[in-house]
A and B are shown apart, each in its own frame.
Chain A
Amino acid sequence: MARAAVPGRLTWQAATVAATRAETATARTLVLDVDGWTGHVPGQHVDVRLTAPDGYTAYRSYSISSAPGPDWLEVTVQAVTDGEVSPYLVDVAEPGDQLEIRGPLGGWFVRRPADPRPALLIGGGSGVAPLMSMVRAAMNPTRLLYSTRSPSDALFTSDLATARAAGDGLVAVTHVYTRVAPPGWPAPPRRLDADALSRVAWPRDADAVAFVCGPTGFVETVADLLVDIGHDPANIRTERFGPTGG
């Protein structure tokens, strides 16, 4: 049905929840089967539409966290307190349930896997979701700096360990903990600062591109610090989310 749509027009497509994976106590990944899905570019998002039995609908945007592929995708959702959509996706949806998506969307906060430039990905909290898609699809040198309050707030822990351990050495992962560090962690918990960024950032002449995603305050701070340490503002791409969501 959706395939008969006008070419180039983004139509709503039915998606079936194929599986779910708990990421943390309050975040979950949903595997969505979408007939005719043609894939995405890492960093893109989808609009999600939920329709209640009486016809009431609600819409939100979620980043795609899986590597590109046909006929399915994954979104990773952090439950927002008092949210309308995210608590449903995190706590209620089960395999077999249906919703609708529209996308893939966004042509700016994207990293094409074949882009030869080294990439610095900096995620705060659930802002790591679109960066995870970039990590999973990486074909060129990629460094991820991931800031969370504590280890138990970190998404994709085992996936990131796997990506880092892959023999190709393309992906390096650095965790930063702002409130609680794991036992034996070499540094006390602290916020990302210019020093920590300088140690992870690519050299100035590397023509690197930076992707920063997270809560507004985090992204503002990190983007400013990157400019301060000499990163070209034109090569910094950002995606912010506020307390609003859900």
Chain B
Amino acid sequence: MAVITRGFGGRRRDDTDLPPGQYRTDDFPVLSAGPTPRIGLDKWELAVVTETGERSTWSWAEFTALPADEPTVDIHCVTHWSKFGTRWRGVSVDTLLADVETAAEYVVAHSYGGYTTNIPLEDLLDGQAWVAYEFDGEPLVPVHGGPARLLIPHLYFWKSAKWLRALELRLDDEPGFWETAGYHNYGDPWREQRYRAD
């Protein structure tokens, strides 16, 4: 039985693209667990590390020379906001993994600053995920994860790790920062997988 809140009318919008429990915002809120890391592009490096320890790395110049996509996608934060039609530029994870041999089924994304999050590998492939370095036609600013962040629009946005440093391919699933702090292991907005056991 739903509890009716006396006197509440709400401000409805015809947003059929909203996952359950979300509201639409035109701002771009910032959520991070600690200070914003500042990473010089001369020191920046992106790595893909396989389950056998093989590393592929890209400097900033090498990374930004890779073929890039310009996805326009909706994004959904577990704190209930959704932002529609966000415009990014980034390298598809398919491109980063094209020459990588792996039997892994899981990935842990590692950030500068120490943040981690886990994603099934299949959720990063087939045009579903990017390492983004521009937002709305401008270089991605540090508070939103610049120089480069993961972008996985079909999962809650904490999976889209900011300040991405490495993608670690794993045979087993290793819950990350929020996943060990009470949040859902997978995080599908359309199934409202916000918290553990949702």
A52 touches B36 (CB 8 A): no
* Chain A residues closer than 8 Å to B114, beta-carbon distance: 234
Q: Which residue of A lies closest to B6 (CB)?
A: A97
A55 touches B181 (CB 8 A): no
Verify if A149 is at the interface (C-beta below 8 Å from B).
no
Please measure, in the bound complex, the distance between the C-alpha atom of A234 and the C-alpha atom of B34, giving whole angstroms.
8
Verify if A184 is at the interface (C-beta below 8 Å from B).
no
A84 touches B33 (CB 8 A): no
The answer, among B5, B6, B29, B196, for a CB contact under 8 Å with A242, is: B29
Please measure, in the bound complex, the distance between the C-alpha atom of A92 and the C-alpha atom of B22, giving whole angstroms.
23
Given the contacts A237-B33, A240-B32, A50 and B10 also touching, CB distance less than 8 Å? yes
A223 touches B36 (CB 8 A): yes
The answer, among A10, A50, A97, for a CB contact under 8 Å with B197, is: A10
From residue B79, how far is it (CB to closest CB) to chain A in Å?
A: 5
Please measure, in the bound complex, the distance between the C-alpha atom of A233 and the C-alpha atom of B30, giving whole angstroms.
18
Please measure, in the bound complex, the distance between the C-alpha atom of A210 and the C-alpha atom of B79, giving whole angstroms.
23
* Chain A residues closer than 8 Å to B32, beta-carbon distance: 238, 240
For window 176-191 of B, CB contacts with A under 8 Å fall at 177-178, 181-182
Number of residue pairs across A and B with beta carbons under 8 Å? 115
B113 touches A233 (CB 8 A): yes
Verify if B35 is at the interface (C-beta below 8 Å from A).
yes
Given the contacts A61-B79, A84-B23, A223-B36, A105 and B10 also touching, CB distance less than 8 Å? no
| 15 extra A-B contacts, CB within 8 A, seeds A60-B80, A238-B33 | A14-B3, A50-B8, A52-B4, A52-B5, A57-B21, A59-B80, A88-B5, A97-B5, A97-B6, A98-B5, A216-B143, A233-B34, A238-B34, A238-B35, A242-B30
Q: Give the A-binding residues of B (Cβ under 8 A).
A: 2-12, 21-23, 25, 27-37, 79-81, 113-114, 143, 177-178, 181-182, 195-198
Q: Give the B-binding residues of A (Cβ under 8 A).
A: 6, 8-10, 14, 47, 50-53, 55-61, 84, 88, 92-94, 97-100, 105-109, 216, 220, 223-224, 226-227, 233-234, 236-238, 240-244
